[in-house]
Structure 1
């Protein structure tokens, strides 16, 4: 059973990051935008069952929970901690981003993922979020934000432009980045 050792605010006022004592996932991430998507995942299902939860994202040693904008955290924090601490499962592998097997050998996509892993994902994880590559076709990279980043106003503007600028400087000046 993981123990919640800290709760951190994120740049998104509707998301909190719950830090746990031991890993929940050995690798990868898990992200759910609604209760239907969480079916079969014990942690996400129990969090969505609380109601008023709009997304769940977790990796390694943290769980980011988003609430509805009109709800207050005061009535949600204790039930969220209880749901996390009641989890009875060993750390498992998460769902690694899967942009499609036809793209796996693409050298440009490999460079993009390496830059995301080294320079973008750690910062997003620090704020309770993540980014997944959805597709890469004709120099257009489609990404999806998760966790605190999924509904954060800055992810659609500043963060997206930063990612695009980094990839244009380091990979190809013709790359365009859009979020899903």
Structure 2
């Protein structure tokens, strides 16, 4: 669960998938992640005009972590093993039941907590002020949800099926590339190799 905590903490923007009348609906939303023991809950909100707003019942939430292209040219055994390109990534799929809420105080608390979290990350000081009528009126335009995860699948695809020399070469290759995702995937690979004693 520590890997999920880390992934969700760094990437609190989910893809939320529901099905109504046989038709899938997808939204991309910021959420608050909370874990108490083995119980994981995601809390967020939709704008009322969103076609998914108000969906209840089964849902799938996806946390997308870092991802990076891996060139077969980086592998020391590229010729003898006939290596091909791949993609390394970290994702989490959380299946569970959605429940919705429209209570104004609960929505105000959610918007306040979301804004404090993200304003703090960018060093800003804007605050939702529930005592202000103009702020409180905005709550009429949203519907809150909670997803209680009953199945969690974490997928870390990090070349773990390759020899150590290949993984070390991929780490070096990714570290030479620009971009935060490349470096984050390299770090995850390095951590896994260290944990394995390599």
Tell me the TM-score normalised to structure 2 length: 0.24
Larger Rg: 2
> Which is strand-richer, 1 or 2?
2
Tell me the TM-score normalised to structure 1 length: 0.25
